[in-house]
Amino acid sequence: MTSPDSIILHRPLDMHLHLRDGDMLRLVAPHSAATLAGAVIMPNLVPPVTSVEMLAAYRDRILAAAGPDAATFQPLMTLFFQHYTEAQLAAAQPQLFAVKLYPHGVTTNSESGIHSIDAAEPTLKLMEEMGIPLLVHGETTGFVLDREAEFLSIYERLAARFPRLRIVMEHITTAAAVALLDRHENLHATVTGHHLVITLDDVAGGLLQPHLFCKPIAKRPEDRAALLAAALAAHPKLMLGSDSAPHPQHAKECCGCAAGVYTAPLLLPRMAQLFAEHGALDNLQAFVSDNAIRIHGLTPPDKAITLVRQPWTVPAVYQDSTGLKVIPWEAGHELAWRIAP
């Protein structure tokens, strides 16, 4: 049910989520488990998740950290891309959603990423034959504003070379990436909530805003406009993937600021506010759930979340009993929509 002042989202999903591990996992997992029916879990831990044993153990830790909402939260697990054999992929497949490819050194904990797309082709061929999706952090190591644009030709080559491989361009940030969606049947994409709202000017146009710094970095106003238009229209090949990426406060507010925006606690309210502001609330269900379910054939738990037009203030900080502190997106700001009690 949707009205100007409320909406019920059925089986909401986050198709790109970082939960980390240890104390951080225990702090942040309940925020996602409480409001989502499932999420695609990123594997770039230290060390990365590269085996069926590591994948199963990480899933168990996530569900333990999720608390009472674990029964209605489905972690969709991924392996960190490396050269896998058919036997290795077959062993993991019952618990595996996808394999995530990171080019070497492009983002947090990607030092084990691949150096050559050509060398990855044997594993990509196996994934195509076995129906395992490929998720890609699509950036080069070139000039920071051009890194995604420079990678688009690689997406085109992969889409043509492996036409039955379901490829997801992760956290797209440019108008050119949006346009690419319509050129290849097997290309899909996720977009974050914050890239629908901010531009590079918000990050570095005045005083540097470390809690808005992420990779890929926010781009130009015309790029944001293209992303927003596609999301508001619920483009059938576009899915919400928050890239919510928590770091301790001290790792963000320092020299060498870590890349990542922590959006999980306000993800759905902020998207409801955004879509309502543009008169597109009826398309939010497709953007946060239906598109992903159709693209990937998912069967998430039957979970319904009601959001209402009612102001609340985002906490300035989330912290645990150990002193671990994480600053969320929009910290201390008032939002117009909230999750109903």
Active-site positions read 243
Phi, psi (rounded to 5 degrees) for 338: -145, 165
Helix (H, G, I), strand (E, B) or coil at 147: helix
Tokens of 320: 């645990």
> Do 265 and 314 contact (CB within 8 A), yes or no?
yes
Question: In whole angstroms, what is the distance from residue 29 CA to residue 54 CA?
Answer: 18
Question: In whole angstroms, what is the distance from residue 51 CA to residue 80 CA?
Answer: 9
Helix (H, G, I), strand (E, B) or coil at 272: helix
Tokens of 245: 């990426």
Torsion of CA 51, 55, 57, 59, to 10 degrees: 180
Question: In whole angstroms, what is the distance from residue 228 CA to residue 245 CA?
Answer: 21
Q: CA 171, 260, 78 angle in degrees (round to 5)? A: 55
Helix (H, G, I), strand (E, B) or coil at 216: coil
Counting every residue written for the chain, the total comes to 341
